[in-house]
Amino acid sequence: MSLDRFAGARVARLATTGVDGRPHLVPVTFAVHGQVVVIAVDHKPKTTTNLRRLRNIRENDQVSLLVDHYEEDWRRLWWVRVDGTARVLTEEAERAEPVAWLCAKYEQYRERPPTGPVIRIDVVTVVNWSG
């Protein structure tokens, strides 16, 4: 299945798991380029810069992303889950192109590009459902 419906969504939920086995789920903005999904740590307020999602990816590179759509007419419900292998990019040379993809999708990033680490996810599996 193509990632078109997934790519068109504005917010996904990123699921990671560290070596302790505890799941961690956070909403994220993202961009898709081919079979790659990227997420950046941006300027939105965070309680710490030592983010659990980044620690978890460094410990266990297997992640999932979920986007969904809800309507009262349940025949129009859908969701798409992407499973993949993630890594954290911190070097500017690695970050530049993914940040450009994010800036192309989100006006807020064009005004203030993300300066934090970028999560790169190589898509392995796409699972979807629709009503």
Angle at 83 between CA 87 and CA 27, to 5 degrees: 75
CB of 48 within 8 A of CB of 82? Answer: no
Q: Which residues contact 111 (CB under 8 A, 6 or more apart)?
A: none
| Tokens at 37, concatenated | 């999904």
The CATH number of whichever domain residue 11 belongs to comes to 2.30.110.10
Contact 38, 121 (CB under 8 A): yes
pLDDT at 126 over 90: yes
The distance in angstroms from the start CA to the end CA of the chain is 17
Q: In this predicted model, what pLDDT tens digit does every residue of 7-50 receive, in sequence order?
A: 999 999 999 999 999 999 999 999 999 999 999 998 876 776 67
Structural domain span for residue 116: 4-130
pLDDT score of 42: 84
pLDDT (0 to 100) of residue 50: 79
- What pLDDT digit, counting tens, does each position of 40-97 carry? 998 876 776 679 999 999 999 999 999 999 999 999 999 999 999 999 999 999 999 9
Q: How many residues can be counted in the chain?
A: 131
Residues facing residue 66 across a β-bridge:
13, 81
Whether the Cβ atoms of residue 37 and residue 111 lie closer than 8 Å to each other: no
DSSP state, residue 75: G
Query: pTM score, two decimals?
Result: 0.93
Number of domains the chain contains: 1
Residue 34 is predicted with a pLDDT of 95
Confidence of residue 113 (pLDDT cuts 50, 70, 90): very high
